[in-house]
């Protein structure tokens, strides 16, 4: 397989844009939390928000990633069971210079999906039965490279920080509104002015924080796409996989963790639109240098299904807490 060369200038430009967006969104989310805490209880509120947020962050980072795997009924796959997938993970991990190779897990689901959990020192990549049976090895290499890029870039920790900030912001906002209503008779009887600006900030903070969290998720997806191409040297493979996922099952594959997502409008998406991701990937193909081969060899054929695995026969079920298998 001979491919067009990658354009280093375009890669650097996309990388810079993704990095700037990430820092702006993280900084904006933290700034919104500080503002909400200050409106709620002044400087003391900022101190309590920092203490509470630190506790939540440490607890989330120390939580075992295998808990998520149990929710999905994921099963570990050995090299003997899925040699083609294990080879791709090993080669991509070596190119990514991870301290430890991620463990490969199988999820008995018809949905085409993949996600990563853990940190670079201890991580896992889950692929569903539908994904293995629905993609070629070339497309699967792009998807696995995308998940390995999430692990290498620490995106799981970044999103944990964003989730912690959004939760504390929401808690501060709710507590502030409740206290306001409880003290409303006193404020009205004392003929004191209503703090309309503070009320507006407390009311808008959870929505603004959630939108920032979703925007951060989209920025990290763009960055994982970019780094995945750097690992495989094959933007067409990942672009083809994204188009196949979109064509086969719409936007259901965007759910990385159990829970319902609202895909439209674009501001409420966890992932960028597929056409936008494909356009960025195609822009990485250079036009001047001589053709070259991909960094990771993966033929355009379906992989052999893993040994001793049985695809699930029922579709995902919606429960009160989200989508479960």
Catalytically annotated residue among 91, 147, 221, 254: 147
User: What is the rounded distance in angstroms from the CA atom of residue 294 to the CA atom of residue 237?
Assistant: 10
Residue 42 exposed, middle or buried by CB count within 10 Å (0-12, 13-18, 19+): exposed
As given in the structure block, the two tokens for residue 244 are 């196949």
Q: What is the DSSP letter of 292?
A: B
Tell me how far the alpha carbon of residue 178 is from its chain's centroid: 33
DSSP 5-36: PB-HHHHHHHHHHHHHHHHHHHHHHHHHHHHH
Distance CA 34, CA 267 (A): 23
Which residues on adjacent β-strands are paired with residue 3?
Answer: 292
Cβ neighbour number for residue 60 with a 10 Å cutoff: 16
147 catalytic residue (yes or no): yes
* 159: nearest Cα among 116, 210, 205, 216: 216
So which residues are the catalytic ones?
147
């Amino acid at each position: 397989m001979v491919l067009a060369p990658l354009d280093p200038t375009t890669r650097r430009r996309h990388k810079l844009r993704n990095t700037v967006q990430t820092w702006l969104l993280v900084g904006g989310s933290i700034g919104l939390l500080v503002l909400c805490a200050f409106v709620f209880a002044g400087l003391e509120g900022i101190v309590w928000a920092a203490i509470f947020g630190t506790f939540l962050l440490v607890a989330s980072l120390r939580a075992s990633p295998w808990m998520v795997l149990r929710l999905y009924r994921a099963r570990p796959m050995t090299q003997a069971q899925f040699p083609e997938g294990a080879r791709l993970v090993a080669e991509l991990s070596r190119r990514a210079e991870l301290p430890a190779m991620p463990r490969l897990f199988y999820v008995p689901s018809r949905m085409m999906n993949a996600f990563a959990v853990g940190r670079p020192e201890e991580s896992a990549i889950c692929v569903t039965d539908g994904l293995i049976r629905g993609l070629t090895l070339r497309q699967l290499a792009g998807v696995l490279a995308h998940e390995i890029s999430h692990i290498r870039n620490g995106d799981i920790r970044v999103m944990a920080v964003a989730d912690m900030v959004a939760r504390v912001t929401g808690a501060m906002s709710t507590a502030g509104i409740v206290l306001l209503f409880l003290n409303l008779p006193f404020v009205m009887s004392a003929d004191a002015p209503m703090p309309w600006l503070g009320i507006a900030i407390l009311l808008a903070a959870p929505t603004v924080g959630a939108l920032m969290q979703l925007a951060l998720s989209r920025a990290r997806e763009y960055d994982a796409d970019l780094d995945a191409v750097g690992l495989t040297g094959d933007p067409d493979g990942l672009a083809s996989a994204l188009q196949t996922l979109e064509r086969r099952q719409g936007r259901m594959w965007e759910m990385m963790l159990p829970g319902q997502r609202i895909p439209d409008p674009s501001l409420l998406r966890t992932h960028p639109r597929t056409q936008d991701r494909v356009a960025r990937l195609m822009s990485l193909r250079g036009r001047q240098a001589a053709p070259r081969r991909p960094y990771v060899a993966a033929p355009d054929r379906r992989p052999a299904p893993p040994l001793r695995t049985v695809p699930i026969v029922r579709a995902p079920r919606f429960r009160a807490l989200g989508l479960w298998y």
